[in-house]
């Protein structure tokens, strides 16, 4: 039982990493008042281009950069459409999802089935030897460790810095932000860009570190789940980490069950992350609405 | 508000002008993809030649086009109806799958019934399968305030996995050599096709749906009330229009239409349930609806256009070795351009 | 030698498509004065101020600050030049704390800023000018007066030397207005300059040093307060037209009036889950106008919504014509003859993209349903709508134009006419004259009195005490969701009501 739990939790941290990146990115964007369902597309772009770069150069830093840029640049299309052209945020996000699916399908096709060395686990000496907690937290890859840093960093950024204040102000009310001497459009562009970069990194984790493979459409809705988890987390990075851990736990739990030859159909088990996300929103969605940045209400509550 | 103002004042330019502008944007997307193909060392002229030749160059191509258009129109209607009251239903893909699933259950269980009873029954089951899936998201929206875009997206994955579960497990045909297929439907459970082509009765459902939708939106009291909701939900609420009921109902009917597409797919085309019955029909239908500004007539036109593209996608895959995703890129670019042009801010009908 | 004014506008002209908002404005403002800009609605005051604050750029003309020409391209530029503005609807973020709101406006803040340090800086200014507010409170928890103080502190801390106030008194109670004028005095004593935009003559006479009057986008003249009279200003502001509101049409309600609406101990939640209405009980009879006085946000919105069935009671009951309507649907309540002229007609009362005709039947559409409610008889609708337009003199040239193409005032009239024309038994009227000029105000008031004479029960919700006192048969005062007073207008006065509605006096 002890080992099972440790296994589930270790797996949870590993499989949540990609979603956590996207959740952090989406938190940043939504705090600035922009929802991006295209996170799914950004993740795919990151996963694909990160993988392709890795396959050619075997250079981790370069791959990370490629992945982040792919995610960031493609999300700029979304920023242009919704900030400058005032298009519907949800529709534009979905268009970005289609775009990511198409482009990565095209670019990535020669790489399907290729196996790369990729990014492997790097247990941290001493720390990983702490009983129970050690293996859960400190036997992962560099990208996972990076989230330990990024999550609190985003939290401090949003709530304790002048810049974070500006981002949140834009998300609450563009006019007030403008009257306060800020440049709302610029801030939204930046937030969406960096959000997309984070999603790109998340995608890269999936292809380079988690599976060492590129498969068309491999994100399987993780981008959407991230958007849902942001609502659950009340637009807060630390709670976002908690939410993604829950999601990762569901995947890891199911994988552990399958590995132990459970009789439950794997297809039913595969549903858990989606159903869990829905359940979480059902249970806490309404009570958390009040924390929603004011600027998002028009997006999510067009009819009510 | 300003954007709205602009959108309204633009209405005056009339439908033909709009269509021309839309066509201009579509050509722009083709140009962009052409450059993309060229950059990857492919000949864009040849690729487009294949695409249009494939769909429009022969009787076979034309009938196949109608086959492709059928689920596109139904799924687009599934998107368009809720969209008229401001809902974004991205769940046609899932609703199509549950429709196919429930219809398959009927076909496998009551396969011995005479055709005159079984087929209508399957149509109802297919509709119900999609309708329940759709109205579930609608109910979540009204009762818990859960955004329908997110719930329909998540439920898409669940629906596809449900189909996988049944075809790999309980319903797997023992005679299928371990392929994930259900047993073949009896002849009584097969939706009729026209002549020797694969064009099937689903096309009639699709066209009927479009016409009914048009009439309901344009002529009836429901159309009026839905337009009020879509235009200003707060004013509708204050005028005593039961928004919650409309949300559930439009999602019910919309889901049902997507379910019909799924039913037709298993009953007419495949003759059995298997994974991959839809190659993203639901998502393409979503695009069709948005490109058509959720206008019933526009849906037919856009379904034709995307049908040509989708069919062409198969052609360039076979003849040029270009991946099918080329077509997805073209579609996404068209969507981007139309979104960016502000075309979608107003609605027809 | 000629003295250089602190701020000088020279030939400022600004047009919007089809509208000339400001025409060749010349204006000089001295240092340390309270300078009032007086004008009717639509006289171009707000446009002018938004030009000063960098929201708009003038088509032609120059602005000089301390004698040097400046180009105010954005609010950021304005605040760099020491110009700050207190908007009518405050530029504050309700979800943020007071400190965060103030930090937002400070240009030279460390990236990692300390809240405690901010609080100290706030306290210094607050003490000096009488502007104390709890720095840790969330802005949505504050009263209107407190929000205004936050705005002022914000501007002072961000280095503003000139403060522009856009109709600052419209949301304040009488004694709060006096407090504000005291603050003006404290500020000008310290060398700050105040630009005070208003359409209220009395306030100009109470606090300004100099007055510039605007009419139809042009300057009529600038006078010293001490050299002028209320009458002279009124003449400058309104020109030839002399409008007197005739409120003498009021007659006592008829003897055989019946109770139309009765609320018994009603409690409802507000949008944040708190208590929006607390044990509210009162009744209205036919042919009676009951005025609801209160600072907006003290339960007025919830009051209307609970009567309309848009918000459910936590406790208590709502009776319509003696029947318990607590659980009725909105459609049923509308069908029983309840009409509402909402706070913001464009946002709450119409579908802006639909035509005037379609909007005209929004609340009584059931009367035109045919074939079992399947179709709408548009021919009958047309006839009825044409009749209404004719009878009420609605200036709508084409019934097939979308409502959004109409002016704000006309949308307001359309909704008003729609609600009155369907002959309700109860009319809930929110701020029926807000934003209207004197002529339109008179029309709206006359219409309300006509409703009263026709035996309609009217629940009049307004912030304008003058209007409430002159129209109401009975006044109730609301504060924090409670009815804190109920009077006949002649039994009380504005000061008492003002104190009650701000909670400064126990009921």
Q: What is the pLDDT of residues B59-88, one digit of tens each?
A: 888 899 999 999 999 999 999 999 999 999
pLDDT band at A288 (very low <50, low <70, confident <90, very high): low
pLDDT in tens, C321-354: 999 999 999 999 999 999 999 988 888 999 999 9
> How far apart (Å, rounded) are the C-alpha atoms in residues B333 and A74?
12
Residue B158 lies in a domain: yes
- pLDDT tens, position by position, A24-34: 999 999 999 99
Q: Please list, in sequence order, all residues whose beta carbon lies within 8 angstroms of the beta carbon of residue C459, skipping any fewer than 6 positions away.
A: C261, C284, C290, C292, C303, C304, C307, C426, C427, C428, C429
Please provide the average confidence, as pLDDT, over all residues in chain C.
86
Which letter does DSSP use for residue B182 in this model? P
> Given an 8 Å threshold on Cβ–Cβ distance, is C93 in contact with A179?
no
What average pLDDT does range C302-315 have in this prediction? 93
The β-bridge partners of C70 are C63
> What is residue C308's predicted lDDT score, i.e. its pLDDT?
94
The confidence score (pLDDT) of residue C242 equals 46
- Closest by CA position to C11, among listed C51, C39, C55, C43: C51
- Long-range residue pairs from A148-156, CB within 8 A, at least 24 positions apart, any chain: A150/A21, A150/A24, A150/A198, A151/A20, A151/A24, A151/A237, A151/A238, A151/A240, A151/A241, A152/A237, A152/A238, A154/A24, A154/A27, A154/A28, A154/A237, A155/A236, A155/A237, A155/A238, A156/C112
- Please tell me the predicted confidence (pLDDT) of residue C188: 93
Residues facing B153 on adjacent strands: none
List all residues 6 or more positions away from A111 whose beta carbon is below 8 Å from its beta carbon.
A48, A51, A52, A55, A214
3-state secondary structure of C261: strand
Residue C286 has pLDDT above 50, yes or no: yes
- pLDDT, one tens digit per residue, over A260-276 is 877 888 888 889 889 98
Domain ranges of chain A: 2-299
| pLDDT grade for C253, boundaries at 50, 70 and 90 | low
Q: Can you give the pLDDT at residue C240?
A: 59
Radius of gyration of chain C (CA): 25
Chain C touched by A157 (CB under 8 Å): no
Interchain CB distance below 8 Å, C402 and B241: no
Given an 8 Å threshold on Cβ–Cβ distance, is B329 in contact with A275? no
**pLDDT of amino acid A262:** 78
Range of the domain at B219: 18-344
Predicted confidence at residue B3, as pLDDT, reads 39
Secondary structure element (H or E) that encloses residue A223, with its range: helix A222-232
β-pairing, C474-479 vs C289-293, is parallel
Six token digits for residue C253: 């309600």
Q: Highest mean pLDDT range out of A116-125, A198-207, A278-287?
A: A198-207
User: Which overall architecture, per CATH, does domain A2-299 show?
Assistant: Orthogonal Bundle (1.10)
Decide if B299 is inside a domain.
Answer: yes
pLDDT per position as a tens digit, C72-108: 988 888 988 999 999 877 889 999 999 999 998 887 7
Q: In what order do the strands lie in the sheet containing C193-198?
A: C83-86, C162-166, C193-198, C34-38, C210-215, C218-224
Chain A, chain C: beta-carbon pairs less than 8 Å apart: 58
Give mean pLDDT, residues C303-319: 93
Closest CA to C354 of C392, C411, C311: C411
Q: Which of C290, C287, C326 is nearest to C424 (CA)?
A: C287
- Three-class SS state of C245: coil
Question: CATH number for the domain including B105?
Answer: 1.10.3470
C406-412 long-range Cβ contacts below 8 angstroms, 24+ apart: C406/C356, C408/C346, C408/C435, C409/C435, C409/C436, C409/C440, C411/C345, C411/C346, C411/C349, C411/C350, C412/C345, C412/C436
Q: Which residues pair with C83 in a beta bridge?
A: C162
Q: Is the minimum CB–CB distance between A217 and chain B shorter than 8 Å?
A: no
What pLDDT, on a 0 to 100 scale, did the predictor assign at position A270?
86
Enclosing H/E stretch for C317: strand C315-320
CB spacing of C331 vs B227 below 8 angstroms: no
Contacts of C378 in chain B (CB under 8 A): none
- The structure tokens 């969507």 sit at B335
Of C335, C349, C375, Cβ closest to residue B221: C375
Average pLDDT (A129-142) is 86
What are the φ and ψ backbone dihedral angles of A173, each rounded to 5 degrees?
A: -160, 110
Angle between helical axes of A237-259 and A142-160 (0-180°, round to 10): 150
Q: What is the mean pLDDT of residues B311-316?
A: 79
Question: Which residues of A fall within a CB distance of 8 Å from B165?
Answer: 265, 267-268
**Could you tell me the maximum CA-CA distance found in chain B, to the nearest angstrom?**
64
Task: Report chain C residues whose CB lies below 8 A from the CB of B228.
Answer: 351, 354, 358, 362
**Residue for token digits 């085309």?**
B269
SS3 at position B27: helix
Say yes or no for a CB contact (<8 Å) between C112 and A160.
yes
Domain-located, residue B8: no
Band of the pLDDT at C411, cuts 50, 70, 90? confident
- The count of structural domains within chain B is 1
Please check whether residue B115 touches C, CB under 8 A.
no
pLDDT score for C22? 87
Question: Is A297 a residue whose pLDDT tops 90?
Answer: no
Which residue of C19, C305, C351 is the best one to mutate when testing the B interface, meaning the one whose CB has the most B CBs within 10 A? C351
Band (pLDDT 50/70/90 cuts) for residue C397 is: confident
Q: Which of A2-16, B142-156, C86-100, C247-261 has the lowest mean pLDDT?
A: C247-261
Q: Is B240 left (phi over 0), alpha (psi -120 to 50) or beta?
A: left
Span C174-225, pLDDT tens digits: 788 888 999 999 999 999 999 999 878 888 888 999 999 998 888 999 999 9
- pLDDT digit string, tens, across residues B245-264: 999 999 999 999 999 999 99
Taking contacts as CB-CB distances below 8 angstroms, the residues of chain A near C96 are 168-169, 172
Per residue in C60-73, pLDDT (tens digit) is 999 999 889 999 98
> Which is it for the CA torsion B68, B81, B102, B142, positive or negative?
positive
Which of B72-76, B157-161, B331-335, C358-362 shows the lowest mean pLDDT across its residues? B331-335
Q: Are strands C482-487 and C474-479 parallel, antiparallel or unpaired?
A: antiparallel
Look at residue A125 and give its three-state secondary structure. coil
Tokens of C477: 């005062």
Q: What are phi and psi of C323, to 5 degrees?
A: -100, 145
> Which of A152, A180, A286 has the highest number of chain C CBs within 10 A, making it the mutation to test binding with C?
A180
Average pLDDT in chain B: 87
- Residue of B260 and B347 predicted with greater confidence: B260
Residues B197-216: tens digit of each pLDDT: 899 999 999 999 999 999 99
Contact call for C79 and A181, based on CB within 8 A:
yes
Query: How would residue B241 be classed by pLDDT, with cut points 50, 70 and 90?
Result: very high
Sign of torsion, CA A76 A81 A84 A88?
Answer: negative
Give the best residue of C54, C82, C86, C95 to mutate against chain A (max A CB count within 10 A).
Answer: C95
Centroid of chain to Cα A36: 11
Flag whether pLDDT at B345 surpasses 80: no
**Residues C470-492: pLDDT tens digits?**
899 999 999 889 999 999 888 88
**Residues of chain C above pLDDT 70, percent:** 93
* Residue/partner pairs of B15-21 with CB below 8 Å, 24 or more apart: B15/B348, B18/B343, B19/B301, B21/B341, B21/B343
Tell me if B1 is assigned to some domain. Answer: no
The encoded tokens of residue C283 equal 């009744």
DSSP H or E run through A298: helix A297-300
Residues forming beta bridges with residue C63, ordered by sequence position: C9, C70
Asked if residue C372 has pLDDT above 90, the reply is no
**Does the CB of A290 have a partner CB in chain C at under 8 Å?**
yes
CB pair distance less than 8 Å for B88 and A90:
yes
Given a cut of 50, whether residue A304 has pLDDT beyond it is no
- Any chain B CB within 8 A of the CB of A284? no
Q: What CA–CA distance (Å, rounded) separates C91 from C95?
A: 12
Residue range A235-256: average pLDDT?
89
- Minimum-distance CB partner of B157 among A103, A216, A274: A274
Asked if C193 and C35 count as a contact pair (C-beta separation under 8 A), the reply is yes
Say if B6 falls within a structural domain.
no
Please report whether residue B116 resides in a domain.
Answer: yes
Residue B191 has pLDDT above 50, yes or no: yes
pLDDT digits (tens, 9 = 90+) for A167-186: 999 999 998 998 888 899 99
Output the CA–CA distances (angstroms, integers) from residue A221 to A42, A48, A215, A274, in the order listed: 12, 15, 14, 9
Using alpha carbons, select from A28, A46, A47 the residue that is nearest to residue A36.
Answer: A28
Cβ–Cβ under 8 Å, residues C293 and C431: no
CB B343 within 8 A of CB B299: no
| Residue B96, token pair as written in the block | 């199509």
Note the helical H segments in chain B.
2-10, 14-39, 44-56, 59-83, 92-109, 115-144, 148-168, 202-219, 221-231, 233-238, 243-264, 281-291, 296-319, 325-340
What does the pLDDT read at residue B10? 37
* Per-residue tokens: A45: 């772009």
């Amino acid at each position: 039982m002890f080992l099972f739990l440790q296994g589930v939790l270790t797996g949870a941290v590993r499989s949540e990493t990609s979603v956590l990146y996207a959740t952090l990115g989406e938190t940043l964007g939504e705090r600035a008042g922009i929802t991006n369902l295209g996170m799914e597309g950004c993740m795919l772009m990151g996963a694909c281009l990160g993988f392709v770069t890795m396959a050619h150069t075997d250079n981790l830093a370069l791959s990370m950069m490629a992945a982040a840029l792919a995610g960031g640049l493609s999300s700029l299309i979304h920023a242009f459409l919704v900030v400058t052209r005032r298009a519907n945020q949800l529709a534009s996000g979905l268009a970005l999802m289609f775009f990511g699916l198409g482009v990565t399908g095209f670019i990535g096709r020669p790489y399907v089935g290729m196996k790369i060395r990729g990014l492997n686990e790097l247990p941290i000496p001493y720390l990983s030897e702490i009983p129970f907690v050690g293996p859960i937290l400190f036997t992962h890859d560099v990208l996972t460790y990076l989230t330990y840093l990024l999550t609190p960093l985003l939290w401090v950024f949003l709530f304790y810095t002048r810049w974070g204040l500006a981002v949140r102000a834009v998300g609450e009310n563009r006019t007030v932000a403008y009257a306060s001497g800020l440049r709302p459009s610029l801030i939204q562009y930046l937030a969406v860009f960096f959000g997309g970069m984070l999603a790109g990194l998340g995608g890269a984790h999936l292809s380079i570190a988690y599976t060492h493979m590129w498969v068309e459409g491999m994100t399987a809705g993780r981008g959407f789940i991230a958007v849902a988890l942001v609502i659950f987390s009340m637009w807060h990075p630390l709670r976002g980490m908690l939410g993604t851990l829950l999601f990762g736990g569901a995947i890891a739990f199911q994988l552990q069950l399958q590995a132990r030859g459970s009789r439950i159909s794997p297809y039913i088990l595969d549903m858990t992350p989606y159903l869990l996300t829905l359940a979480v929103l059902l249970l806490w969605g309404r009570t958390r609405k009040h924390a929603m940045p004011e600027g998002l209400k028009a997006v999510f509550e067009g009819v009510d | 508000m300003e954007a709205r103002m602009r959108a309204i004042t633009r209405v005056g330019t009339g439908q033909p002008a709009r269509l021309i502008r839309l066509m201009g944007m579509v050509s722009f997307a083709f140009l962009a993809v052409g450059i993309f193909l060229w950059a990857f060392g492919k000949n864009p002229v040849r690729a487009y030649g294949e695409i249009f030749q494939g769909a429009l160059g022969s009787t076979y191509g034309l009938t196949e086009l109608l086959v492709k258009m059928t689920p596109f129109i139904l799924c687009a209607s599934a998107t368009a109806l809720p969209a008229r009251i401001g809902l974004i239903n991205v769940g046609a893909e899932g609703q199509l799958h549950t429709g196919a699933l429930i219809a398959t259950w009927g076909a496998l269980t009551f396969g011995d019934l005479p055709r005159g009873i079984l087929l209508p029954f399957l149509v109802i089951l297919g509709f119900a399968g999609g309708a329940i899936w759709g109205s579930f998201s609608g109910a979540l929206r009204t009762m818990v305030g859960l955004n329908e875009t997110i719930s329909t997206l998540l439920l898409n994955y669940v629906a596809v996995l449900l189909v996988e579960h049944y075809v790999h497990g309980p319903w797997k045909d023992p005679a299928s050599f371990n392929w994930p297929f259900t047993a073949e439907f009896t002849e009584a459970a097969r939706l009729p096709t026209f002549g020797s082509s694969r064009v099937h009765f689903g096309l009639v459902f699709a066209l009927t749906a479009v016409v009914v939708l048009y009439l309901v939106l344009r002529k009836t009291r429901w159309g009026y009330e839905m337009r009020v909701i879509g235009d200003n939900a707060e004013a509708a609420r204050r005028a005593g229009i039961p928004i919650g009921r409309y949300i559930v109902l439009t999602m019910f009917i919309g889901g049902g239409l997507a379910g019909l597409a799924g039913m037709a797919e298993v009953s007419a085309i495949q003759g059995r349930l298997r994974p991959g019955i839809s190659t993203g029909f639901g998502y393409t239908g979503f695009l069709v609806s948005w490109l058509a500004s959720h206008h019933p007539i526009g849906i037919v036109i856009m379904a034709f256009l995307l049908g040509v593209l989708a069919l062409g996608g198969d052609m360039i895959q076979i003849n040029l070795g270009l991946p099918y995703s080329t077509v997805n890129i073209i579609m996404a670019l068209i969507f981007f351009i139309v979104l960016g042009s502000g075309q979608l801010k107003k609605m027809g009908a | 030698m000629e003295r250089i004014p602190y701020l000088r506008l020279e030939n400022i002209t600004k047009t919007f498509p089809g509208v000339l908002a400001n025409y060749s404005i010349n204006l000089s403002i001295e240092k340390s004065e309270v300078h009032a800009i007086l004008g009717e609605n639509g006289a171009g005051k707000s446009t002018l101020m938004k030009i000063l604050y960098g929201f708009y750029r003038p088509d032609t003309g120059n602005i000089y600050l301390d004698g040097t020409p400046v180009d105010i391209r954005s609010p950021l530029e304005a605040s760099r030049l020491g110009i700050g503005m207190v908007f009518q609807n405050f530029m504050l973020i309700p979800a943020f704390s007071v400190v965060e709101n103030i930090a937002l406006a400070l240009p030279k803040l460390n990236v990692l800023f300390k809240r405690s340090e901010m609080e100290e800086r706030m306290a210094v200014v607050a003490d000096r000018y009488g502007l104390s507010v709890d720095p840790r409170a969330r802005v949505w928890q504050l009263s209107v007066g407190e929000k205004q103080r936050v705005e002022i502190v914000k501007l002072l801390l961000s280095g503003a030397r000139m403060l522009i106030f856009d109709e600052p008194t419209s949301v304040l109670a009488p004694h709060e207005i006096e407090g504000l004028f005291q603050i003006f005095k404290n500020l000008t004593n310290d060398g700050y300059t105040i630009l005070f935009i208003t359409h209220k003559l009395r306030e100009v006479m109470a606090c300004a040093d100099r007055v510039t009057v605007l009419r139809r986008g042009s300057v009529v003249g600038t006078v010293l307060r001490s050299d002028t009279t209320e009458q002279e200003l009124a003449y400058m502001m309104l020109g030839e037209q002399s409008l007197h509101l005739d409120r003498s049409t009021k007659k006592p309600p008829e003897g055989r009036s019946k109770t139309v609406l009765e609320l018994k101990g009603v409690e409802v939640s507000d949008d944040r889950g708190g208590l929006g209405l607390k044990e509210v009980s009162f009744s209205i009879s036919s042919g009676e106008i009951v005025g609801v006085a209160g600072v907006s946000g003290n339960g007025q919105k919830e009051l209307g919504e609970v009567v309309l069935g848009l918000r459910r009671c936590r406790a208590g009951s709502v009776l319509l014509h003696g029947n318990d309507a607590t659980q009725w649907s909105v459609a049923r309540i509308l069908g029983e003859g309840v009409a509402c002229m909402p706070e913001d007609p464009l946002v709450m009362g119409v579908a802006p993209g639909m035509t005037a005709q379609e909007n005209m039947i929004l609340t009584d559409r059931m009367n035109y349903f045919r074939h079992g409610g399947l179709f709408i008889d548009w021919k009958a609708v047309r006839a009825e709508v044409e009749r209404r337009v004719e009878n009420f003199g609605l200036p709508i040239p084409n019934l097939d134009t979308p409502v959004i193409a109409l002016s704000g005032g006309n949308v307001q009239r359309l909704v008003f006419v729609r609600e009155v024309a369907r002959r309700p038994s109860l009319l809930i009227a929110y701020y029926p004259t807000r934003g209207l000029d004197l002529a339109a105000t008179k029309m709206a008031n006359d219409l309300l009195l006509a409703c009263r004479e026709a035996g309609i029960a009217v629940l009049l919700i307004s912030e304008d005490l003058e209007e409430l006192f002159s129209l109401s048969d009975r006044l109730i005062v609301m504060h924090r969701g409670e009815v804190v007073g109920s009077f006949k207008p002649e039994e009380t006065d504005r000061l008492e009501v003002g104190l009650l509605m701000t909670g400064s006096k126990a009921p």
